[in-house]
Amino acid sequence: MLRIPAMLVPALLLSGAACAQDFNDKAPNAAGQTPAFEGQTRAPEAQGAVRLDTEVVVDGLDHPWGMDPLPDGSWLVTERSGALRMVAADGTLSDPITGLPDLDARGQGGLLDVLVAPDFEQSRRIWLSYAAPAGEGRNQTGVATATLSQDGRSLENLKEIFRQQPAWASDKHFGSRLVLDRDGMLFVTLGERSDPEPRATAQNDDNHIGKLVRIGPDGAPAGAGTEGWLPETWSKGHRNVQSAALDGQGRLWIVEMGPQGGDELNQPQAGLNYGWPIITYGEDYDGTPIGEGITAQEGLEQPVYYWDPVIAPSGMVIYDGEMFPEWQGDMLVGGLVAKALVRLDIEGDRVAGEGRYLEGIGRVRDVEQAADGSLMLLTDADNGQMIRVTRAD
C-alpha cells in the first residue's frame, strides 16, 4: 500500500460547451423514448469552471467500495474482497480490522458500505453492509452494527440487524448504501438481484427485492406503514441503488442504476412506487425492451432526472461545504462507466445543469465530503485509490 502525499495533479473542471457536447451528443441506448417533462434528461451544461487539485492519499486498495470519516480526521474504508481498513489523517493505512461478519465476495458481493454513528466519540458504533452467504450458492444483502475497539484493530459486539428477503443464487445487484436520517433511522438501499426471475418480483409487496427499506439503528422496522407491505419497506420499484444522501432539508435522494440506459435520480417518498421493471428509460443488455418497453404508467413515479446513455452511478454527496461555495446544494455523483465525477446543479428540486469533471480518473465508486469541504473519491479497481480533491487557487 502506498501513500503519495506529494503528487498533486491539477485538473481543470471543464464546464464549457465542448465538454457538454461530448456527453449530451452521444446516441442514447434506448432510442425512440421521450422524457415526460422538459429537463428530465440531458440537462444543459452546468455553469462555472473550477480548477481542482487531486492527491492520491492511498493506493493499492482492492476494489474499495465505501468510506466514512471518523471524528479524528481518519477514515474507515471497505474493500469489496472483505477487508475493513482505517486510513489515518496522514494517509497511513491500517491492517485489516478483524471481527467482520461472514461474507460472500463473489461477483459484485463482499464487504460494501460503512457508516459511522454521529455519536461515535462516545459509542464507537458503526454499521456495515455486505453480501451475506445463505447456503446452496444463495446470498442476500445484510446489515450489521458493531463497535470499533479502542485500538481500532477489531470490531466488537457485532450484531446482524437486517437481511434482504428472500436470498437468491445471484452475485449481482446488492444495492447497499447506508444513510441515517434526522430521526436516527437507517435507510438501506437494495437491488433486484439482476436475474430475470428475481427482477420480476420487484413489484411484489412480500419481499425486499427492488425495495428501499428503513429500520431503526438496531433493526426495528420503520417503513412507510403501507398496508400489505413488509413493515420495513419505504418505497418500491427500484432497480439497483448504490447512491444515497440527505439534502439540507433532511430528505433522502437516491440515484439508481438502470439497465442499458435509464439511470435515475429519485427523491423517494414513503409508500410510493418508482416503477421498475414496469417502466424504465432503459432497455435490456441485448437491446430488447424491458417488459412492454413503456416509460410511464399511471400510479408509477417518474424520475426527477435520468441518463441515457448511462453513467453507472455509485456513491453521492449533496454538497454543503465551504471549499466550493458555487456547488452548495448540488449533487456530486460517482460515475463507474462515466469514469468521472458528475455534478447536478439543483434548482427547485429539478436538475438545471449537469457537468462531468475529472473525466478519466477511473471508476468512481464512492464520493464523500471531508470536514474542510474537500472531496474524497474511491476508485474501483484491483489497484484502487482514495483520492482527495481540493480547490486549486
Ordered alpha helix ranges (H), 56-182: 120-123
Rg (CA), the chain: 20
CB 117 within 8 A of CB 126: yes
CB 200 within 8 A of CB 181: no
Element (H, E) at 112: strand 111-116
Please say whether the dihedral angle defined by the alpha carbons of residues 337, 340, 346 and 351, taken in this order, is positive or negative. negative
CB 362 within 8 A of CB 379: yes
Q: What does the DSSP 8-state code read for residue 283?
A: B
Location of C-alpha cell 464507537: 124
Beta bridge partners of 388: 55, 376
Residue 63 designated active-site: no
What is d(CA 390, CA 321) in angstroms, rounded to the nearest whole number? Answer: 12
Tell me if residue 278 falls in helix, strand or coil. coil
Strands (E), 164-285: 178-180, 186-189, 211-215, 233-236, 240-246, 252-257, 263-266
Q: What does the DSSP 8-state code read for residue 310?
A: -
Task: Name the grid cell of 175.
Answer: 444495492
Catalytic residues: 173
